Amino acid sequence: MRPLVAFLEFGSHRSIVFPTDRTCILKLPPPSDSATDKLFWHWSPNGSYSIKSSYKLIMNRLVSTTHLEIDADWQRIWKTNIPYKARFFVWRVLRGIIPARGALQKRGLQISALCSLCNRNTENTWHVFVGCPYVSPVWTEATLGNVIDNMIDTTDSFSALVFRFLKENPHPVGDRFLMILWSVWHRRNDILWNDGPRDPVSVIKRANSILSE
């Protein structure tokens, strides 16, 4: 028996071979020449394993695909003039993969889903960035309070609100808005882990200082 067939039939490492690949391989007739078996990674075009392809696989399997239902300009996020770390953060927010308590509880963590700052509502992206009483003063300080308030009444998800904001506001305002989102999240973590400042001014200052770097 060929080594690969034996490996697939009896090997203790079946879990590293996808069931569909295994079935197909076992149906192949034995080669007439003396060609040797080779292992190919299913998730890359050339069959070579890479960290990037495994990351993509994990993300595809674990991450919600509801974002695909949003008819929005995703490229707009990547074309902003904010640092890459902030763009990536916003992308994660819109995909619903920031570690907010509500999402963590859904994934099985035995924790309270209530907001870690106000302890009033479920901690999700909507609450963290627009619903929490700790964030409203930030938008007021940024002179975006009215704009956000108007959108709250007419959008049904935080992702929709962000895309609408970016559509209705030119680059400098949109970029600042996204940078403030980043700063709001980091202020939240600073309060929780480092007893950081709670005032809205520090959130805006941080966002502005990173934008001007």
Task: Using CB under 5 A, list all residues that contact Zn ion.
Answer: 115, 117-118, 132
Distance CA 40, CA 57 (A): 15
CB 147 within 8 A of CB 166: no
CB of 62 to Zn ion, least distance (A): 26
CB of 125 to Zn ion, least distance (A): 12
CB 89 within 8 A of CB 83: no
CB of 60 to Zn ion, least distance (A): 31
The interaxial angle of helices 84-95 and 171-194, nearest 10 deg, is 80
Which is closer to Zn ion, CB of 139 or CB of 163? 139
- Residue 122: what are its φ and ψ, rounded to 5°? -60, 135
Which is closer to Zn ion, CB of 17 or CB of 118? 118
CB of 12 to Zn ion, least distance (A): 49
Which is closer to Zn ion, CB of 80 or CB of 124? 124
CB of 123 to Zn ion, least distance (A): 7
Distance CA 135, CA 73 (A): 26
Which is closer to Zn ion, CB of 158 or CB of 163? 158
Amino acid at 27: K
Which is closer to Zn ion, CB of 168 or CB of 199? 199
Residue 22, CA distances (Å) to 30, 84, 118 in order: 15, 40, 52
